[in-house]
Amino acid sequence: MQFLPALLVTILAAIASPAAAQPVQLATRLVTDGLDMPLFATAPAGDPRLFVLEQTGRIRIVADGALLERPFLDLSGSVSNGNEQGLLGLAFHPDYAENGRFFVNYTDGDGDTQVVAYTVSADANVADPASATTLLTIDQPARNHNGGWLGFGPDGLLYIGMGDGGGAGDRQNRAQNPNELLGKLLRIHVDGATPYTIPPANPYAAGGGAPEIFAIGLRNPWRIDFDGDLIYIADVGQNAQEEIDVIGTADAGANLGWRIMEGDACFQAETCNRDGLVLPIYTYSHDSGGCSITGGYVYRGKAIPELDGHYFFADFCDGRVHSLTYSEGTAGNVTDWTDQLGTPGAITSFGEDSAGELYITTIEGNLLQLVRAE
């Protein structure tokens, strides 16, 4: 994610590319405002509440449509939040209702990534800050490209999206280096041994690279989604293209291409060796007005069945919301929703509640729900 100053993110007027006809009329509904740079919204399985991350270090709860005053967890004293740093990721254990475990990803006072496990307290709306158990500490050489997403796959394993460590062009080639955790999608098993164990199917579980790695070749994955066994990855580009990649949970060792390629083009070269690379299913050019993709979710809610199977994404710079469908390696039904939704703001993330309904967070402090237009 490229976090630009809010005053510089006046929504750009861009020319819409050809798109599919909208299958339904959509609108956004304001759920709450006054949030401090919200970056994500999620919920435990079967839980009617919504948990919202603030970049400055707090997890807030929306219950019965109201924003609770007391944070679920306040890490503002431990988090660095300048540029692209901050509290960046939250994932609830699939068995959260039974074990109360959840996991956060943030940059600490030195700017390094911390992946930490917590448990809820006796009060369901308040976490136990003393329960912190650090799983991973990853050195960050710069203040951008931290990644930060984490989530549980259908295999019950915890996946962690890591950017390439920042600096233009990944000059140290970290994303292609199997001994570096930067520029990767990581996968660990958090049940059993403390702090975690390595899934035996990870490509370097037996050696030859960092055993936590699941896939390589990412620049700055800004939001990832599981749809069954498929993994949708929105990877922020350098200066030319934004991309969406799709791989499966069985594709251990996949190479998403950075810095050999940016999107579907060779990076800073006329030709490159594409053998073994997973090419994106969809790209768009910065010439369209966008500059930093914000990945979302495949809609699987019940309120708007016409959208079933549509993957929603946006761009932080132009504020436009799009969707597409994916089948057998090909993206289709690319839809631009601007004529219905306008540009809701500088979209930092999408969110999903336990019923599969979708939300949008904006740098201006708003949490919006995607709803059927009345």
Domains of the chain, residue spans: 6-372
Q: Which fold has domain 6-372?
A: Neuraminidase (2.120.10)
Q: Are 174 and 113 in contact (CB under 8 A)?
A: no
Give me the half-sphere count of Cα atoms (radius 13 Å) on the Cβ side of residue 54.
22
**Structural tokens at position 116:** 């930490």
In a 10 Å sphere around its CB, with 0-12 CB exposed, 13-18 middle and 19+ buried, how is residue 122 labelled?
exposed
- Helices and strands counted in the chain (H then E): 2, 27
The length of the chain, given as a count of residues: 374
Q: Give the separation between CA 119 and CA 219, rounded to whole angstroms.
A: 31
pLDDT digits (tens), the chain, 374 positions: 544 444 333 333 333 344 567 889 999 999 999 999 999 999 999 999 999 999 999 999 999 999 999 999 999 999 998 889 999 999 999 999 999 999 999 999 999 999 999 999 999 999 999 999 999 999 999 999 999 999 999 999 999 999 999 989 999 999 999 999 999 999 999 998 999 999 999 999 999 999 999 999 999 999 999 999 999 999 999 999 999 999 999 999 999 999 999 999 999 999 999 999 999 999 999 999 999 999 999 999 999 999 999 999 999 999 999 999 999 999 999 999 999 999 999 999 999 999 999 999 999 999 999 999 98
Q: Are 95 and 150 in contact (CB under 8 A)?
A: no
Q: Give the separation between CA 221 and CA 233, rounded to whole angstroms.
A: 6
Maximum pairwise Cα distance, the chain: 60
